[in-house]
Structure 1
Amino acid sequence: MMRQYLGFKAQYPDKLLFFRMGDFYELFYDDAKKAAKLLDIVLTQRGKHAGDPIPMAGIPHHSVESYLAKLIRMEESVVICEQIGDPTTGSTPVEREITKIITPGTITDEALLEQDSEHCLAALAKNKKQFGLAVVDVCSGRFLLMQFDDYTPLYNELSHLTPAEILVPEGLVLKQSKLLRNITPRPIWHFDNDSAEHLLKKQFGVRELSGFGCEEMPLAISAAGCLLQYLEETQRANLQHLQTISVHKQQDYLMLDAVSRRNLELDRGYDGTHKNSLLTILQTTVTAMGGRLLKRWLNKPIKDTQELCLRHDAVACLLHNQQFVRCRESLHEIADLERILARISLKSARPQDLLKLRSALKVLPELRLYLTDLNCLLLQKLCEQLHHCPDLYALLNQAIVASPPAMIRDGNTIADGYHAELDALRKLKQETAQYLLDMESREKERTKISTLKIGYNRVHGYYITVSRSQTKALPKEYHRLQTLKAYERYTTEELKMFEEKILHAESKALILEKQLYDELLDACCEYIPRLQSCSIAIATVDVLACFAERAETLNLNRPAFQETHGIDIIAGRHLVVEQIQTEPFVPNDLTLNHDRRMLIITGPNMGGKSTYMRQVALIVILAYMGSYVPADVAILGPVDQIFTRIGASDDVSEGRSTFMVEMIETANILNNATENSLILLDEIGRGTSTYDGLALAWTCAEYLVADTKSFSLFATHYFELTALTQQIPEIQNVHLDAIEHNDKISFLHTVKEGATNRSYGLQVALLAGVPKNIVGKAKLFLQQLEEKYQKINACKNQQKDMFVDVS
């Protein structure tokens, strides 16, 4: 047996091997030591090898999922080696084979996945200038191809995909990044382009790949080929749920780099949790599929305004007479169809999956009926995709019991009346109890022993129990099995024949039920293309209904798009801040156009400058998702990218100071922004000396308006920057208002035209709890500095008078 184990282990030296032995999965040698430490299980030993004890650790087979979940969260990979031979035949060793390889990027079990997050496996190919990226979500069947001209857009894509595992060619050296975790090197020949094309054509049943629009993406195709080989190796099953390729091109999306997503707290707050993120406010979808789609739309808004208008039309339609309420009631009954279909394809679906599929098919006609009555182009198109597959529903309704067990091995999944032979085998088992009662009565009468009992255990099977004092009265055909303190156990030829018949029937029933179940899965596979189209439609309807509910609940309004450059917002609000603060939110307007490309924003600390800037970006993102927006009016021209430079901190791991981080982010903006970009800049230059910072802030502002011609919001405490409006007409000043009374400050949070030179820093210090005596001294020192500054300015003015032209 150990020779068999070592043979399998030699094939997968870098993975934990779960070796099935009876009711346990056993691990040996270093695997046992590692698993005992990671899973907090007992480390024992079994026999010896080269004179040393063999370390061993075991996991009960019925609870393996919980242990696998722990290991996957620790980014470990596991090989499952199952017994496929019958251990009762006496052959040594029992026949075994590798049935599955579970890696961080290839898990599909429901217990190991997060419901609202995609679980991606990526592959990366590279030449001297470009990167090719292929991404697959094995749990849903989504297969994406992308190609990039440099590392930055690749990094931005990975930052929101956060793949659980990345396949790269052996020897490829990449820039260090927290995103590039779980790197799995693969042989270079796995990235061969010709082999990749062949694999992709075979998988998707096409003669050419041009129909997918990826013919000009050779690196992405190479990466995709590597993905398919890896999935075939690890899944050991049909990948029928991988039905098509989706090509993503940067120019089709409103680009948000990793820094902007973090600064705008789109799906995570600054603390790394979902709390206080935009996603948390938006997330009222009722299906897991809809939740994942909402997250995708949030991280990759589209730029196609025609498609966006269709989404807005759908939201308007669902809002009318609260139609979204009826849709959401139906959606509540639909389980995670995407992932169920993946498990069906991979032959890992459990009875509960088929029950949930049946329940979804039952409710789909009702959902179709609701959508059919709505006069909306997009909703009608989605309605056509809602294939409710009546034949499949009838089959599942006939084949599966109302409340199936967790595992097919537990039996009683197939309904009575579905298969005559299975019914006969079950009937035999059901008659067992009565047969044993009748036999017990007969034997009591025959032996005249009233205390005689027939029982069963797993060691001896069926047996007859009598007290030791009555054994002399037993017939000669009674054969002793076991002697106990007060009783003895016997068997007879009749009882042995009955046991063999019953056990054979039970075993045969389980084997037959598994066979019928596999046939059901095969039947379901025939419907996968239609059901995947259906699941996409369900998710889309769910997100649109979510937008409608949010629009009504949060007082959101429909945005409008225009071809000319500009952003006009009336009474805009920050959706997240509005929901978490207790006092009413103060809305503000914004206008950016050809004559007003940059706003220099001044005002007190805590006055709302950052909130004002962020709310503009969030309104744009919401509109480009297809959602309504928190504003009375929002008219948006073309926007291709949103950049933010808000806040900064040291990046110790990369050896970067606060100012270095600030300048790297600023450089990225200056090098990549276009005239269609929206830029948010907060306190440029504050990480260095006053004059260095002011000089950098001044020249950056000039460049963005004069050269890049972007739309920019520029918050600053450098009052000197407000003079830019005198040199560049496209720059305007606005400020956040506040009122001071008796050394106390009240923030009005209203944006007004013009500049202010008051930061109210001392008042904010008092609010923060700085001791009054410290603030008092600071106030005296401030007065001295201001007087000194005024004298210097006066001297400068007098010096200028000496050179007045008197001609």
Structure 2
Amino acid sequence: MSAQSIRFEDIDENQLLSFTPAMRQFVEIKQANPGLLILYRMGDFYETFFDDAETVHRTLGLTLTSRSALVSGARIPMAGIPYTTLDQYLLRLVNQGFSVGICEQIGVPGKGTMDRKLVRTITPGTLTDESLLSERSESCLLALYASGKKGKIGLSWMIISSGVFKAIETDESALMSEIERINPSEILIPDSMRDTAERVFPDRSVTALPDWHFDRVRAEKTLLSQFGTSTLEPFGISDSDLLITAAGVVAEYARGTQGTELTHITGIVRETDSEHLGLDAASRRNLEISRTLRGEQTNTLLSTLDHCKTAMGSRRLLSWLTSPASAQKTASARSDAIEILLESMPELENIQDFLKSIPDFERTATRIALSSVKPRELASLRDCIPSLNVLTENIQKLAAPLLANTAEKLPLPQSLYDLLDKSIKKEPNTFIRDGGVIAEGYSAELDDLRAIKDHGGKFLVEYEAKEKERTGIPTLRVEFNSVHGYFIEVSKAQIDKVPDNYRRRQTLKNVERYITPELKEFEDKAVSAEERSKALEKQLFDEVVEECKKYVTELFESAHAVSVLDALSSLATHADLYRWVKPEFTLNPGIDIKGARHPVVERTIENYVPNDCELSAQRKLHIITGPNMGGKSTYMRSIALIVLLAYSGSFVPADYAEIGPIDKILTRIGAADDLVRGLSTFMVEMTETASILRQATDRSLVLMDEVGRGTSTFDGLSLAAAIAEDLAVNRQCFTLFATHYFELTQLEKTVPNVVNMHVAATETNRDIVFLHEIREGAANQSYGIAVAKLAGIPRNVIRGASKVLEKLEERAAQTDDRQLDLFCAPAEPQFEQAAEKETELNELLDKIEDIDLDDLSPRQAWEALAELQKTAKQFR
């Protein structure tokens, strides 16, 4: 091993004893925290060693070196991160899913071995630093716990940066829907569930903890300590061992990562399945709420609607769109507020102007609670308080209950403004370590130190002049050197005039140097003025932060009010720009939409064709036929998105919308395999369909697009027919069912509440024209070959497909076979000769079609016609 790099797992007790003290300390910290990538402060670098160094080398591209730490001379892999650029590297590591431990030097330099301590843990779900967090999304930590009884699962999640702490009890069938809704950045699970969780959540950061962490008694003690209560009754989770356990794990883990108490987390909110409009994982993906099917964040519902002026507003808007309220009352309150804002456009414009000046003080409040807030954040908070007061005055004029409630919570206490105004400079430095943060006049001691530091030269000039006058020694000088400090220099010819309070400091050949009590006092202050002023500033700043902690609750309430106001203003702005209308809610089951438009697509095309949709007790399932590219999927998505927007509280892209009670939106759209979980395209389709059939109720909106196309014709048709009939008869949900199986249009005659609809198109001599209109009745054909022609399929292939289609249609009408064999030998004995003739004829037709008559002279046209006539005679 002496000539090789030693690996961490190979270290035994004897080898550890031969390490340097610093390396032994690292190994001990790493052994206690095996799941963390340890950044170990050594001077101006955070060093990594062993496997961590190789990981950093691969992930960040940093140079991999080594150091000797054994008597034998074996090398330890090492890679370092400059402390000045830590944040940018941390962000890259966390985005790759790593959990990082920061070890700082806590000893005094030059006094023996420098001690180091793990002071902070950074994981994907526990980010609070401004430099690590995305402005418009959250870092969410979730714990999952299942007892194995009745298939129930406890979920609890915390967003440390926003002070959110919630829990919900769900079952296995709804687990993935809840995970997609909550969208955790990190999932905590018992170690015994590791393999299952990594298979079920392959794209998420999963942290496995020892099973003993998931102990109900331990969890309850953690929560009681966190909330400072003697019972969990006030929080509504005392009856659920699952929720107590999951919540306790989240709280303990989050507290451990921050290295301090989470004083801003003072309670937990229990949610229920009925609070939100149900959206399964496939529906969230298919409706492209916050990400497109390709994973992009542009051209989504959120990016389309987001005109928010603050990051808090964008996050609130995202939460409304991803977790629409199931209660019509909640959605109506938001749309009523939007209506009032639209009727008061001057106030709306004024509100948005003031919102531009509001910083993200929701996260500032968290960092105040964690004692990690930066000076400029406090300055920004101070500067926005007057704007909050003006916003309050603007909103109080508007008659909407939600706006009135928002106005009550917007203002922040004047005492907080006064504290920050007198304590923090108008434009403080970024970091407290640099000084220049505390305002002048806040501390007399600090002002004195600054005066000494900044105006020491002036003091010395004035002191020298004063001493010359007092002693009558015109040649007296006040000077300084690094060895003896400050002194008064007097020539030996004048020493008889030296006052009694002068004390000799040094004797030279021609002069004597003295010190006075006053000059000594100045010297003591001046030598350490900068260090002392910075230390005092840090102390004063910490005291200000402690005082600010008293206002954390009010800060969160005000931030919530700002986010609601900003989200409502954004929705009002979009409604005004694109002529959206206020939806009407009714208790009667059904959906009646006139002039429906897709909220994203309508912005990207010039002439969008709106369509109507009527789903009622007598029209529960629409069989939609028609060509590809005709707009079936866009139409279906537009209806689902209008319902989602309405229950989010938004206006909707339509001429009129009346919407009854809806509990879920369930979709099966698109075709893709899932290689990670070993599922084929058809298996994904059937899995999602099965999920819909298990979840759908008579109040669900279901979108089914081309179900059954991933298998043979009759298998697919049989499945599609049975699924459609089950949705109409057994589930009785409101369903838009797009298909190319024209046989399904017969369901209208045999199954009640089924109606046929089609996407209109017309075919000219050369092309197909898509009208993008949804009309009553069944389509007469799919125009698939016409679409293939538009896509650029070679003409000979198109003609071949047309011939095969004719044969298949003829044979289908003459046979009772369950499956038609496309490649079976035909009955005609001259088939091969006919095929050759047909190929030649196709080539002739290609030549005719390729002739560009506009480019031919009369002579050239005659020659071309003669050549074609000669070729045609060969077919007689």
TM-score (norm: length of structure 2): 0.82
Please give the per-residue CA displacement for 1:11-36, whole angstroms capped at 9, x wherever unaligned: 22332333333333333444334334
Separation (CA, whole Å) in 2 of partners of 1:12 and 1:135: 23
Question: How far did residue 438 of structure 1 move?
Answer: 9.8
Name the counterpart of 2:822: none
Q: Distance in 2 between matches of 1:31 and 1:558?
A: 56
SS at match of 2:193: coil
Matched, 1:32 2:56: no
1:67 correspondence with 2:86: no
Give the direction of change, closer, same or farther, for the CA distance of 1:284–1:455 in structure 2 (3 Å limit): farther
Q: Secondary structure at the match of 1:139?
A: helix
* 1:279-358 matched pairs, under 5 angstroms: 279-322=302-345, 323-358=347-382
Tell me what 2:170 maps to: 148
The partner residue of 1:19 within 40, 60, 63 is 40
Q: Partner residue of 2:790?
A: 767
SS at match of 2:161: coil
Contact 2:310 2:566 in 1 (8 A): yes
1:245 has 2:265 as partner: no
Contact residue 477 and residue 493 of structure 1 kept, 8 A: no
1:688 aligns with 2:711: yes
Q: 2:449–2:525: 8 Å Cα contact kept in structure 1?
A: no
Question: 1:106 touches 1:234 (CA, 8 Å); kept in 2?
Answer: yes
Aligned residue identity for 1:702: E
- Are 2:593 and 1:569 equivalent residues in the alignment? yes
Matched, 1:210 2:251: no
Q: Which amino acid counterpart does residue 156 of structure 1 have in structure 2? A: S
C-alpha distance in 1, partners of 2:668/2:42? 58
Which residue of the other structure, out of 58, 80, 98, is the alignment partner of 1:76? 98
2:619 alignment partner, SS class? coil
| Equivalent residue letter for 1:65 | D
Letter in 1 for 2:268: I
> Which residue of structure 2 lines up, in the alignment, with residue 508 of structure 1?
532
Q: Deviations over 1:147-172 (max 9, x none)?
A: 1122x312122124332222222322
Q: How far did 1:263 drift?
A: 1.0
What residue is the counterpart of 1:136 in the other structure?
158
1:294 to partner: Cα distance: 1.0
Amino acid in the other structure paired with 1:94: M
What letter matches 1:750 in structure 2? E
Tell me what 2:117 maps to.
97
Confirm whether residue 639 of structure 1 aligns to residue 657 of structure 2.
no
* 1:355 counterpart letter in structure 2: A
The residue that corresponds to 1:198 in the other structure is 221
RMSD: 2.9
Give the corresponding residue for 2:130.
Answer: 110
Report the residue type matching 1:233 in the other structure: G
Question: Residue 728 of structure 1: which of 745, 751, 759 is its match?
Answer: 751
TM-superposed CA distance for 1:751, in Å, is 1.1
What is the match of residue 541 of structure 2?
517
Q: Which one is further off, 235-244 or 549-558?
A: 235-244
- Secondary structure of the structure 2 residue equivalent to 1:556: coil
The code of the aligned residue for 1:292 comes to R
Please state how far the C-alpha of 1:61 moved relative to its aligned partner.
Answer: 2.2
Q: Is the 8 A contact 2:64 2:77 kept in 1?
A: yes
TM-score by length of 1: 0.89
2:441 maps to what in 1? 417
Matched residue count: 757
Within the candidate set 604, 623, 638, 2:627 is matched to 604
Report the CA distance between 1:527 and its aligned residue. Answer: 0.4
* Contact preservation (8 Å) 1:146, 1:217: no
Q: Of 713, 716, 720, which residue of structure 2 is paired with 1:697?
A: 720
Aligned mate of 2:561, from 537, 541, 566: 537
Alignment equivalent of 2:610, drawn from 587, 591, 598: 587
One-letter amino acid of the counterpart of residue 523, structure 1: E
Identity of matched residues, %? 43
Residues 204-252 of structure 1, C-alpha deviations (whole Å, 9 max, x = no match): 2334323222233321111111111112222121211213312221112
Amino acid in the other structure paired with 2:147: N
Residues 692, 790 of structure 1: alpha-carbon distance in 2 compared, 3 angstrom cutoff: closer
Please give the secondary structure, in 2, of the residue aligned with 1:330.
helix
1:528 aligns with 2:552: yes
- Between the aligned partners of 2:434 and 2:784, the Cα distance in structure 1 is 70
State the one-letter code of the partner of 1:221.
Answer: I
CA contact (8 A) 1:440 1:454 kept: no
1:461 positional shift? 13
Matched, 1:751 2:771: no
Distance 1:45 1:684 in 2: 59
Distance in 2 between residues matched to 1:387 and 1:673, nearest whole Å: 45
- Give the Cα separation in 2 of the matches to 1:367 and 1:455: 59
CA separation in 2, counterparts of 1:100 and 1:493?
49
Classify 1:56/1:433 alpha carbon distance in 2 versus 1 (closer, same or farther; 3 Å).
farther
- The residue identity in structure 2 corresponding to 1:295 is L
2:571 corresponding residue in structure 1:
547
User: 1:126 corresponds to which residue?
Assistant: 146
Q: What is the match of residue 406 of structure 1?
A: 430
State the SS of the aligned residue for 1:403: coil
Deviation by residue 1:728-774 (Cα, 9 ceiling, x = unmatched): 23100111111211131111111111111211112211211112222
Which sections of structure 2, spanning at least 5 residues, go unmatched?
Answer: 1-20, 466-472, 488-504, 817-876
Residue-by-residue CA offset, 1:499-519 (whole Å, 9 max, x unaligned): 875342211111111111111
Counterparts of 1:319 and 1:179, CA distance in 2: 45
Note closer, same or farther for the CA distance 1:13–1:241 as it changes in structure 2 (3 Å cut): same
CA drift of 1:462 comes to 9.4
* Residue of 659, 666, 678 corresponding to 1:655: 678
What 5-or-longer segments of structure 1 have no aligned partner?
Answer: 465-474, 480-490, 794-807
The amino acid that maps onto 1:521 is: V
The AA in structure 2 aligned to 1:303 is S
Q: How does 1:164-243 map to 2 (within 5 A)?
A: 164-173=185-194, 174-175=196-197, 176-178=199-201, 181-243=204-266
Q: Aligned to 2:690, what secondary structure does the other structure show?
A: helix
Match of 1:670 in 2: 693
The one-letter amino acid of 1:676's match is R
For the structure 1 residues 664 and 47, does the alpha-carbon distance in structure 2 shift closer, same or farther, using more than 3 Å as the test? closer
Please give the secondary structure, in 2, of the residue aligned with 1:223. Answer: helix
Measured against aligned partners, the alpha-carbon deviations of 1:157-208 in whole angstroms (never above 9, x if no partner) come to: 2124332222222322425134563322223332222332232233223343
The code of the aligned residue for 2:566 comes to D
Q: Is the 8 A contact 1:387 1:531 kept in 2?
A: no
1:73 positional shift? 1.5
**What letter corresponds to residue 571 of structure 1 in structure 2?**
G
Q: Deviations over 1:387-408 (max 9, x none)?
A: 3211011110111111111111
Give the distance between the partners of 1:380 and 1:194, measured in 2 at CA. 43
1:184 is paired with a residue of what secondary structure?
strand
Larger CA deviation: 31-40 vs 273-282: 31-40
Q: Secondary structure at the match of 2:257?
A: helix
Q: 1:650, 1:709 → 2: CA distance?
A: 29
1:789 positional shift: 4.5
Please tell me the residue identity of whatever aligns with 1:626.
Answer: G
- Measure the CA separation in 1 of the matches of 2:686 and 2:428: 60
Q: Could you tell me which residue of structure 1 aligns to residue 410 of structure 2?
A: 386
User: What secondary structure sits across from 1:594 in the alignment?
Assistant: coil
| Higher Rg of the two aligned structures | 2
Q: Distance in 2 between matches of 1:463 and 1:25?
A: 40
User: Given that residues 163 and 265 in structure 2 are in contact (C-alpha distance below 8 angstroms), is that contact kept between their aligned partners in structure 1?
Assistant: yes
Q: Does structure 2 conserve the Cα–Cα contact (< 8 Å) formed by 1:278 and 1:575? A: yes
How does 1:437-476 map onto structure 2 within 5 Å?
none
Q: Distance in 2 between matches of 1:304 and 1:114?
A: 30
Distance 1:712 1:663 in 2: 17
Q: Paired residue for 2:17?
A: none
For residues 364-383 of structure 1, the C-alpha deviation after alignment (integer angstroms, 9 at most, x for no partner) is: 10110011111111111111
Shift of 1:440: 13
Moved more, 193-202 or 321-330: 193-202
Do the aligned partners of 2:392 and 2:411 also contact (CA within 8 Å) in 1?
Answer: no
Does the CA contact (< 8 Å) of 2:486 and 2:515 recur in 1?
A: no
Structure 1 pair 592–34 and aligned structure 2 pair: CA distance change class (3 A): closer
